[in-house]
Amino acid sequence: MFERQQPGRLLEVKLRVVLLLVALTYCACEKNAQLIDSIIFGEGESPSITVLYPNGSEHFEPDLDEIDIRWIGGNFPEVTIELYRGSTFDQPISASTPNDGSYNWQIPSGVAERSDYRIKILSNTDANKYDFSDASFTIGTVPTTVIFPSSGTTLEPGFTYPIIYRVSNSHYRISIELFNNNQWLSTIFSREYNDGFAEWSISTSLGQVGGYQIGITKYYSPYNTLGFGDSFALGALPRGTPENHENNDSAGLAYGPLQVTTQYISYISPTGDEDWYYFQLDRLKKVTLYLIVPGGRDYNLLLLDESQGQLSLETGYGGNQDMSIDLMPGMYYVKIVGVGGSADGINPYVLLLFAQI
């Protein structure tokens, strides 16, 4: 004989069945399978940990890179960290480590070069509480990439710009060369430390034309080019033209969202002017902001969180400024202000954003 269900209990069962059908309709990955578990078994059984990094599209080198594995959540003291190839277990990373949100893993040389790796982090006390990287990342030799100057960019001679690049860590030093229409012109830097960043003061003697490229070479073999960047031009930036970012004088009027490698050209004018921008991140990333300040001017570059709390401040004392910081997913503000009344309505500043996956 069947036991009669109480109306409230019956309604709860029906509601869970409806939610399960909705989840099955829209969910087709492991994370959403966890969501289905939480619907069936209740909130107490739902996973409570989230992998932040690596979380998809990253590229690391075996025996050369150390990954700072990052995660949040979980009210348990220890976690296990594992490496997967797609949905297949590959090897343990740590059988037990404190649940403090961070673990440094030196990639061993024996790890196969593949592009379908994911991290799994799970509770040591409850195997139902776990999370995977949202998407796959790569372990293998890093291809040489020039990130900036990017395609179609115009740089002004007489200004100092960043050169942002990625080269295999197997090259301790590199040389940075300038080409035009595939012809070598000059060496910008020789025996440069391979740290992915250099500042290039562009000579005013260079022709203001297109077809320029940055080439990265082995420092001991300048004819052995590791890779080229996209084509860019040298030419004058606009002067005294109306700002297409104004009115952006407060957080509520911030211009954005900023896009990576795009030049944002504007002015601090009149005296007391503030320029606000914003950008958004969908995952943990290392963000670099670079501000090119017009000659003879002194501007501050500030990074703020969504509640306008200050995260970083750079004062250039009359020069360019840059800052690099690891940021969690969310929205952030960039604020540019003149120091001591410094302003210029004729000569612009240039703001650049870079986000390293």
- Percent helix / strand / coil, the chain, rounded to 5: 10, 50, 40
Contacts of 6 (CB under 8 A, 6+ apart): none
Q: What pLDDT, on the 0 to 100 scale, is given for residue 30?
A: 40
Band of residue 6 on the pLDDT scale cut at 50, 70, 90: very low
Please determine, for residue 242, whether its predicted confidence score (pLDDT) is greater than 70: no
Which CATH code fits 251-356?
A: 2.60.120.380
Comparing 21-30, 243-252, 272-281, 298-307, the range with the smallest average pLDDT is 21-30
Task: Tell me: pLDDT of 301 over 50.
Answer: yes
Res 211: pLDDT? 97
Cα distance between the two ends of the chain: 61
Answer yes or no: same fold for 145-234 and 251-356: no
Give the class (CATH, top level) of 7-139.
Answer: mainly beta
Q: Which of 208, 217, 210, 306 is nearest to 256 (CA)?
A: 306
Regarding predicted confidence, which is higher, 46 or 244? 244
pLDDT score, position 18: 38
Q: What is the percentage of the chain residues whose pLDDT exceeds 70?
A: 85
pTM of the model: 0.80
| 277, 333 contact by CB (below 8 A) | yes
CA distance 187 to 175: 7
- Reported as half-sphere exposure (CB side, CA atoms, 13 A), residue 286 has a value of 9
Residue 231 pLDDT greater than 50, yes or no: yes
pLDDT tier, 221 (very low <50, low <70, confident <90, very high otherwise): confident
pLDDT tens track for 184-199: 999 999 989 999 999 9
Mean pLDDT for 100-124 is 95
Name the nearest CA neighbour of 261 among 164, 124, 134, 126. Answer: 164
Instruction: Please state the φ and ψ torsions of residue 294, each to the nearest 5 degrees.
Output: -60, 150
CATH homologous superfamily for the domain 145-234: Immunoglobulins (2.60.40.10)
What is the structure's pLDDT at 23?
42
Map out the domains of the chain as residue ranges.
7-139, 145-234, 251-356
Is residue 121's pLDDT more than 90?
yes
